[in-house]
Amino acid sequence: MNDALDVALRLLVVFVVFLTFPLIVGQTEHKVMAHMQGRLGPMYAGGFHGWAQLVADGVKFAQKEDVVPAGADRRIFQLAPAVALLPYLLVLLAIPIGPGEGAVGEVIDAGIFFVLAVMGVGVLGSLMAGWASANKFSLLGGLRTAAQLLAYELPMLLAAASVAMAAGTVSLPGILDAFEWWWLPWQIVGAVVFFVAGLAELQRPPFDMPVADSEIIFGAYTEYTGLRFALFLLAEYAGIIVLCGLTTVLFLGGWHGPWGADGLGWVWTLLKTAVLAFVVIWLRVTYPRLREDQLQKLSWTLLVPLSLVQIALTGIVKVVIR
Amino acid sequence: MTLTAAVAAASTTAPSAEGHGFLSPTGVEVAFLLVGLLTFGAALVTVTTRQLVHAALWLVVALGGLAVEYLLLSAEFIAWVQVLIYVGSVVVLLLFGLMLTKAPIGRSPDADSGNRWVALIVAVAAAATLVWVVADAFRATWIDLDGAPAGSTEVTGESLFRNWVLPFEGLSVLLLAALVGAIVLSRKAKEEPSPPPVNSHAGAGSSPSVPDSRNHPIEQEGAL
């Protein structure tokens, strides 16, 4: 009975995090982008600096009519948002935020493989949406999504493999237990590759070719309205949380910090995740969108060789220090 | 796709060892059988449906079902790799190919092969061989689900790199050869003297588009 309660409590906490953190990131994006561009951003909803803007957006989305195009493949069209969103909820279960077994939703033996595998499934949602909408912009968006995923999955996996080699385990809490501060410079190339490839997998700017609004309207999500559209947006922001959390855990030492690792480990994790999320927003404001060929070139000619170099370096150092 | 059906068929009949409560199955065994039936059904729909993209999506269900079977057999690492490689990459590649060619919404009247009886015979033969080999090889083997997981990453890695290094390396050389071969083939195709369109920057515009027979009339030149 106690076990069941424990499991239920963990699931509840992860679910609440899953529902609130993406909104916080979204609101921060509104405000940070605005101030970086010399604007104020949302100021009215909720009173104090427009804090309730996304709540208001949510209410608006819920009121809109749920339209399915006449020519669409109805069932797949309606299923796609769930397929896009749910994998991120599952990934969130496996990310440890503090030391010990109590600070992770579920300890998974092959943690790295689990998170990367399940994150890859989320892209299926975009593909389904792109094909089932019966819209040429959607189809083009779906195609670009697939091409992008195929290009960036490999460097992401290789960078994660480097950390797994360094730690000698593929379990996420295990990697954190083995972490030392000098891993930071040692794995820095892998960290950059992982983060950039993750951004591309989430289709965040400057890698937002699949949803390029000036060319193909909104890519695979063009035909979506109301709540289903909101679910796709939620998936994107949940993806930011998951990517930043994973980068923190794999490369930045998670709950390790200069002091206070005993009681305040989770603060370090959240702090690092928040800083990375800020970087994600910052990159969006800073860089223009990459063209499709530039995007493919970046992955195959830069990120993949870099991640291979990182793996070689990891192997060499590992053999030397043993 | 016949292979999928064969594998699925093989997976449904695995737990038939003797002496271990064949008549009083445990919860895991029941779950294993149910998931196996689901996987088998999904595989059947994959090869029989007339809607091409639906076939690919049912393939996702079948491959995911196999991953669950691995999980139930405590082979966690293999299960996640199955999801990573097959659901995350192979099916995405498949969908990518389907979308580039002819993937109309609704039924494709020509999505049927004259070879289907031959394919069925091959599939049944392959399934029978696999079931026979697996049942013969593991007749009296029983996985202890209560003890330490027999298929954890550590155990899998140790047996892979202690006992099976040679086949592993052989396979990797084979894959490398395939990779190099694919690159060589694609380079040769590029050297053919066909004048490229002005605005194309990738090799995407090689197949002719047939706007009448599809629901997605897109120009492929320079679009990707």
Q: What is the pTM of this model?
A: 0.80
Cβ-based neighbours of A57, under 8 Å, separated by 6 or more? A230
Domain ranges of chain A: 2-321
Token digits for A175? 């990697």
Distance from CA of B211 to the nearest CA of A (A): 12
- Distance from the Cα of residue B199 to its chain's centroid: 37
Token digits for B193? 């003297």
Q: What pLDDT, on the 0 to 100 scale, is given for residue B18?
A: 46
Across B111-133, average pLDDT? 87
What ipTM describes this predicted complex?
0.81
The amino acid sitting at A42 is: P
From start to end of chain A, where are the E strands?
none
Counted across chains A and B, CB pairs separated by less than 8 A come out at 109
Flag if A121 and B201 touch (Cβ within 8 Å). Answer: no
Q: Which residues of B touch A (CB under 8 A)?
A: 53-54, 57, 60, 76-77, 80-81, 83-84, 87-89, 91-93, 95-96, 98-100, 103, 105-106, 149, 152-153, 201-202, 215-218, 223-224
Of A174, A176, A200, which is closest to residue A120 (Cα–Cα)? A200
Of B101, B94, B199, B209, which is closest to residue A293 (Cα–Cα)? B199
* For A114, nearest residue in chain B (alpha carbons): B80
Confidence of residue B128 (pLDDT cuts 50, 70, 90): very high
Q: For a pLDDT cut of 90, what percent of chain B falls above it?
A: 15
Q: How many angstroms separate the CA atoms of A1 and A11, rounded?
A: 15
Q: What pLDDT, on the 0 to 100 scale, is given for residue B172?
A: 92
Under DSSP, the state recorded for B197 is P
Residues of chain A with pLDDT under 70: 1, 100-103, 105, 260-262
What kind of fold does domain B2-150 have according to CATH?
Answer: Four Helix Bundle (Hemerythrin (Met), subunit A) (1.20.120)
* For A201, nearest residue in chain B (alpha carbons): B88
Q: What pLDDT, on the 0 to 100 scale, is given for residue B213?
A: 42
Mean per-residue pLDDT over chain B, rounded = 74
Token digits for B165? 């290094």
Distance from CA of B168 to the nearest CA of A (A): 18
CA R_g for chain A: 20
